[in-house]
Structure 1
Amino acid sequence: MNQLPWLDTKISVSRHGTGRRSVLDVEKEKETHNYLSKEEIQEKIHKYNLAVTDKLKMTLNPNGTYTGFIKVQMELCKPPQASPSTGRPAPGNSGCMNTLHISSTTTVGEVIEALLKKFLVTESPAKFALYKRCYREDQVYACKLSDREHPLYLRLAAGPRTDTLSFVLREHEIGEWEAFSLPELQNFLRILDKEEDEQLYNLKRRYTAYRQKLEAALSEVLKPG
C-alpha cells in the first residue's frame, strides 16, 4: 500500500517579514472558528488525541487553528495522466490510501490539488472530487464535498475512527466537456479543424480524380468516328 510522505498544505503568507497573513487566510480562520469556540476545539482535540491509535494526533496552535492528519482513499476508474518524465506511476484504481498532514484552514480544493501535485498528475483538478463516506446503522453514505469545506474539521468532529468517517477521491461526476480547462477545449477545436481540413482535402482530391476520369470517358464517346 503506497503512502505519500507527510504533506503540509497549510496556507500561511507573510509580507516583508512582518508575519502578517493574507486576508484570505484570516477569513478562512474566521470561517473555521464559526463551527466551534476555541475552548470547544481544545476539548475536542484532547478527546480526539486520547482516542488515536496510530499516533496521528492533532495539534492546537496559539491562534486557534489546528493541524492534523487525514487519510484519503483513491477510487479512480482509470489512472490519471501523469507527467511521462517523472518515472512515478499515477494512482490507479487499487484503492491505495494516502495520508496528508493539513491545517484546519485547508480546503477540499487544496487537498485535491495537493494529491494531484504529489503524483505529478497533469489533469485538471476540476476532473476530481473529494467525498466523505459515513457509516450509520450498517448503511454506507457517500457525499461529495464542496471545494470550500475543511476536511480536518470533519475529521475532528467525527473522531479518528475511519469506520465512522473516511475520505475518498473519485473522478468528478460532471458533464462530458465541463471537466476540461479552456486551453484543453481550444486544443480540441484545433485538432477538429485540422481533421476537417484533411477530410475536405481528401474528398476534393477523390472527386477531382473521378471528374477527370468521367471527362476522359465522355471525350472518347463524343470523339468523331
Structure 2
Amino acid sequence: MIESVKNRRSIRKYKQQDIAPDLLNDLLATASRVSTIGNMQVYSVIVTKDAEMKAKLAPAHFNQPMVKEAPVVLTICADFNRFSKWCEFRNAQPGYANFLSFMNAATDALLFTQNFCTLAEEAGLGICYLGTVIYNPQQIIETLKLPKLVFPVATITVGYPDESPELVDRLPLEAIVHEESYVDYTRETIDKLYAYKESLPENAKFIAENNKETLAQVFTDVRYTRKDNEYMSENFFKTLKQQGFID
C-alpha cells in the first residue's frame, strides 16, 4: 500500500467498465472504519452511477469530462442531519446547527474520502479528486436534494484507469515538516524549496502560455485569483447559512 500511495496519480480517463457492486460496497464499508470524531460518523456518501444524474452534476464541476465518463461519482458530505434526528428521536436535544459542527463533520468526511481513495487505488481503480465541489455547493445541494445540516465537501470520480499520466511534482519533505515548533520561511529557504518545481519544463510552459514572469503569478493572477476566492468564499458562507450551519 505504501508503494501505491507513492505512485498515485489523478486519473481523468476511464475504461467503460463498471465497478462490481460488491467491490464498491466493500471499499465503502472498509473506508468507513476510518477515525471519526466522537464515533459519530457525521458524514454521508452519495453514489452516482446514472448517466442522467452525472450529466446534472457536471455543470457544478465546470463540465469536466470525467464527471460524465467515470463509472462512479462519489459526493461526500458533512452530515449532521442524520445524527441530529437520531438525537431528537431519542429525547435528546441536538446542538449542531453551528460552524464548529460543520468543521467536525467536514473533517469526518475528508478522512473518509482519503481512506476510500487509498483503498480504491490499492484495488486497481483510479480516482480524481475534484476541488470544484466547494466552488459550487449550491448546485450540488439542489441536484442531490441535500437537506439542512448536509453540505458537500468532497467529490471524487472512480473507475478503471484508461491512462497512466506522469507523476506530478511534490515539494521536498523539509518544506512541510517542522520539528517541535513552526519555523518560518526565509527568502533563501523559499528559493531552495521551490527550485525544483520552478525548474520543470511543464511549469515553464504554464508561465509562457499565461504570459507571466513567474509560476507564482500563474497561481495568483490566473488560477486562484483574489477576486474568485472572495466571490466563492462569500457563496460558500451563504450556502452554509442556507444549510443551517451558521446564523
- Whether the TM-score (by the shorter chain) exceeds 0.5 is no
TM-score range with shorter-chain normalisation? under 0.3
After TM superposition, the score normalised by the length of structure 1 is 0.21
- Determine which structure has the larger helix proportion and give its number: 2
Q: Which protein shows a greater Rg?
A: 1
After TM superposition, the score normalised by the length of structure 2 is 0.20
- Determine which structure has the larger strand proportion and give its number: 1
For CA contacts below 8 A with separation 6 or more, give which structure has more relative contact order: 2
